[in-house]
Structure 1
Amino acid sequence: MEYSEVNRLSRLTAILVRFQTKRIITATELSEKFQVSKRTIYRDVKALEKAGVPILTEEGKGYSLMEGYRIPPVMFTEKQVNALILAEQLVLKSKDTSFVQDYAEAIDKIKSILRYTIQDKANLLADRTQYDEALNQERNSSNLSDLQNALTNYKLVKIRYVNKEGSTTDRIIEPFAVLSAENWYLIAWCRLRKEFRFFRPDRIQKMEVLSENFDPHKLTLQEYFDKYQSAP
């Protein structure tokens, strides 16, 4: 995810929270708050409306939320929350401390209205996700969201995987953690090799999240590194 995309995501989140705490908001106020043009704010409001947020336009006054509307737990699916957690990891690497603080506060407010089961899963994913900035890296996989979901729900995943030598194998894995260095990596227990392995999502040719659960691994990400001292 590019920085501009993360920046917009954080702004949309903060605008939504601001709508919850103030009855009338003007485009001018929002543009000054987030240091963007009013045209950008108009596009953000349209995006929120398309996402199902009932925003009312009061002529000559500004925007408001439909009376009685609150963000319901069902508004954010589990995968959407997982995406926010990943974005949070990118934001935490920002050198702008105010930006980090604003986004962290917005994420906390979102977590506060989630169902407890999704809260627990979001916190688990946050603890099991690590991001290290790398310039000019390409993102060419489409499996990360499903892998996150399998991780937080302890679901086995069947994959057809091509390693760096070009060999293809079919494996059953137990997703454990997600991190990024020069690319995204999944740490998972491989039932074929009977050990923890690093997998690159862009090397997964075929994937199926199975209905069968696995027993959670009773260690944190830091404990994993301390114990196995592995590197991608």
Structure 2
Amino acid sequence: MLPATVPIWTVRKMDYNNDTKRLSRLAAILTILQTKRLLTASELAHKFSVSNRTIYRDIKALEQAGVPILTEDGKGYSLMEGYRIPPVMFTESEANALITAEQLILKNKDASFVKEYSEAINKIKSVLRNNTKDKANLLSDRTAFRQNAYNDRTSNYLSTLQLALTNFNFVRIKYHSPDTNQTTERTIEPFAIYSTQENWLLIAFCSLRKDFRAFRLDRIQNLTTLNEQFEPHKMTLQEYFEICKEKYFSQPLT
């Protein structure tokens, strides 16, 4: 019960602020549901710092608004396949972050990565408001990174390997090792991709070595994605790094 001295406009302002916060949260939940296949109420509650009960009410409100949300018992929420909302409008700060990332990626040494990101960022720019678009183009012209000054491209396999990784396709590569000056042909199971400054590395199970190996993309001379699929690895990337750390520290000192 509110004290009698509280002005009515204050109450209305409180209601307005609460409604605005909820509308923003509902829009954010809908956006997140588009980016992930399954989300639990606990995950959403943690992200928005609200209770699980609040999330239950939010999901019900979205369903009542006609959003086809599917509930899988014990697993979480997802959007019905094929459902899409109109393009998201970016704030000026969000657009600036994307433009800055674009300038950094343009310095990357993998040609396929640069090409795919450039095409994606063009689609993003197409939905920006005209005023924001002009500012984004200005920022693009005024942002520079000094690394890889000559825009060298040393590989062209990142996009292909990403598809092989997510679709669990075997890949055959011809790989050159400068240390031994040997070139070998291997069939590998792509597991993860990571970058050290400008060089991309692929972690994969190698049928030749019967173990996981890291391959630098700039040392792959030829690559073919095979139709055959392998069994997805249960190990996480973090678990892989922990195993590598244990192997490193268990080696005897010389």
Q: Provide TM-score, normalisation by structure 2.
A: 0.43
User: Larger C-alpha radius of gyration, 1 or 2?
Assistant: 2
Q: Provide TM-score, normalisation by structure 1.
A: 0.47
Q: Which has the higher contact order (CA 8 A, sep 6+)?
A: 1
